[in-house]
Structure 1
Amino acid sequence: MRITIAAAALATVAIAVAATILVTTLRASLIDTADMSSKTRASELNAAAARGLLTDVIANIAEEGVGQVVADDGKVLAASENVRGAARISQVVPPRGEPEKLIIRNAPDDDETEDYRVWAVRGDGVTAYVGTSLEDEREVIFDLTRLMIIGLPLLVAVFAAGTWLMVGRTLRPVEDIRAEVASISHRRLDRRVPLPPTNDEIGRLARTMNEMLGRLEASSERQREFVGNASHELRSPLAAFRAQLEVASAHPAGVDWPSLAEDLLKDSNRMENMVQDLLFLAREDAAATPPSTPVDLDDVVLEEVARVRSTASVAVHAEGVSAAPVLGRREDLARLVRNLLDNASAYASSRIDVSLSAENGRVELAVADDGPGVAPEDRPRIFERFYRADPVRNPQNGGTGLGLAIVEAVAKSHGGTIAVADGTTGARFEVSLPTLRSERPAATVPVPS
Structure 2
Amino acid sequence: MADQHAGPIRSARRRATAVARRFAARPRVAALITRLAPRSVRTRTTLAACVSVAAVLLVASAAVLLLLRANLVRSVEASGREQAQVVSRLAADGRLPNPVPLDHGSDFVQVTDAHGTVVAASQNLAGRPALTPAGTSDGHGTFNLDALGDEHHQRVTTLTTDTPNGPVTIRVGASLHTADTAEDVTTAALAVLSGLLVATVGVVTWKATGRALRPVEVIRSEVAAIGDRDLGRRVPDPGSDDEIARLAHTMNAMLDRLESAGVRQRRFIADASHELRSPLAVLRTQLEVAHTHPDPAIRAEMVAGALQDTGRLQSLAADLLLLARLDATGHSGPMEDIDLAELVRTTAEGRDSRPHPVDLDLAAGCTATGNPMWLGRLLTNLLDNAQRHARSTVAVRLAFDVAAGQAVIDVTNDGPAIDAGDREKVFERFTRLDDARSRDDGGTGLGLSIARDIAALHGGTLTIEDAPAGCTFRVRLPTREAPRSSTGR
TM-score normalised by the shorter chain: which range applies? 0.7 to 0.9
C-alpha displacement at 1:76, in angstroms?
6.6
Q: Equivalents in 1 of 2:109, 2:230: separation in Å?
A: 94
* Equivalent position of 2:345 in the other structure: 302
Of residues 291, 294, 304 in structure 2, which corresponds to 1:262?
Answer: 304
* Equivalent position of 2:22 in the other structure: none
Of residues 96, 116, 141 in structure 1, which corresponds to 2:154?
Answer: 116
Structure 1 counterpart of 2:446, one-letter code: L
Q: Equivalents in 2 of 1:310, 1:423: separation in Å?
A: 22
C-alpha displacement at 1:176, in angstroms?
2.6
Question: Using a 3 Å threshold, how does the CA distance of structure 1 residues 86 and 39 change in structure 2: closer, same or farther?
Answer: same
Of residues 397, 417, 422 in structure 2, which corresponds to 1:378?
Answer: 422
Structure 2 counterpart of 1:116, one-letter code: Q
What are the superposed Cα offsets for residues 75-97 of structure 1, whole Å, 9 maximum, x if unpaired? 879x7xxx5895799789xxxxx
Of residues 203, 218, 221 in structure 2, which corresponds to 1:161?
Answer: 203
| Contact 1:323–1:357 (CA under 8 A) maintained in structure 2 | no
Q: Does 1:35 align with 2:77?
A: yes
Matched position secondary structure for 2:418? coil
Of residues 405, 415, 422 in structure 1, which corresponds to 2:449?
Answer: 405
The residue correspondences of 1:220-299 to structure 2 (distance < 5 A) are 220-245=262-287, 256-287=298-329, 288=331, 290-299=333-342
Q: How many equivalent pairs are there?
A: 430
Q: Which structure dedicates a bigger proportion of its chain to helix?
A: 2
* Equivalent position of 1:187 in the other structure: 229
Structure 1 counterpart of 2:348, one-letter code: V
What are the superposed Cα offsets for residues 255-291 of structure 1, whole Å, 9 maximum, x if unpaired? 9323323333332222221111111111222234643
* Equivalent position of 2:213 in the other structure: 171
Q: Equivalents in 2 of 1:271, 1:395: separation in Å?
A: 11
Structure 1 counterpart of 2:275, one-letter code: E
* Equivalent position of 1:95 in the other structure: none
* Equivalent position of 1:97 in the other structure: none
Q: Equivalents in 2 of 1:6, 1:341: separation in Å?
A: 65
Q: Equivalents in 1 of 2:154, 2:346: separation in Å?
A: 109
C-alpha displacement at 1:46, in angstroms?
7.4
| Contact 1:308–1:342 (CA under 8 A) maintained in structure 2 | no
Larger mean CA deviation between 385-394 and 65-74 belongs to 65-74
* Equivalent position of 2:385 in the other structure: 343
Matched position secondary structure for 2:391? coil
What are the superposed Cα offsets for residues 122-177 of structure 1, whole Å, 9 maximum, x if unpaired? 78969987653123322222233344455554443333333333333333333333
TM-score norm. by structure 2 comes to 0.72
Q: Equivalents in 2 of 1:296, 1:308: separation in Å?
A: 19
| Contact 1:196–1:203 (CA under 8 A) maintained in structure 2 | yes
Query: Share of identical aligned residues, percent?
Result: 37
Question: Using a 3 Å threshold, how does the CA distance of structure 1 residues 113 and 347 change in structure 2: closer, same or farther?
Answer: closer
Question: Using a 3 Å threshold, how does the CA distance of structure 1 residues 41 and 375 change in structure 2: closer, same or farther?
Answer: farther
Structure 1 counterpart of 2:470, one-letter code: G
| Contact 1:89–1:107 (CA under 8 A) maintained in structure 2 | no
Structure 2 counterpart of 1:430, one-letter code: R
| Contact 1:416–1:431 (CA under 8 A) maintained in structure 2 | yes
C-alpha displacement at 1:226, in angstroms?
1.0
* Equivalent position of 1:364 in the other structure: 408
Q: Equivalents in 1 of 2:211, 2:464: separation in Å?
A: 52
C-alpha displacement at 1:377, in angstroms?
0.9
Matched position secondary structure for 1:350? coil
Q: Equivalents in 2 of 1:213, 1:85: separation in Å?
A: 91
Q: Equivalents in 2 of 1:135, 1:365: separation in Å?
A: 96
The residue correspondences of 1:68-107 to structure 2 (distance < 5 A) are 83=123, 106=145
Q: Equivalents in 2 of 1:253, 1:289: separation in Å?
A: 51
Q: Which runs of 5+ in 1 are unaligned?
A: 93-99
What are the superposed Cα offsets for residues 43-86 of structure 1, whole Å, 9 maximum, x if unpaired? 578789999xx999979724xx4476989998879x7xxx5895
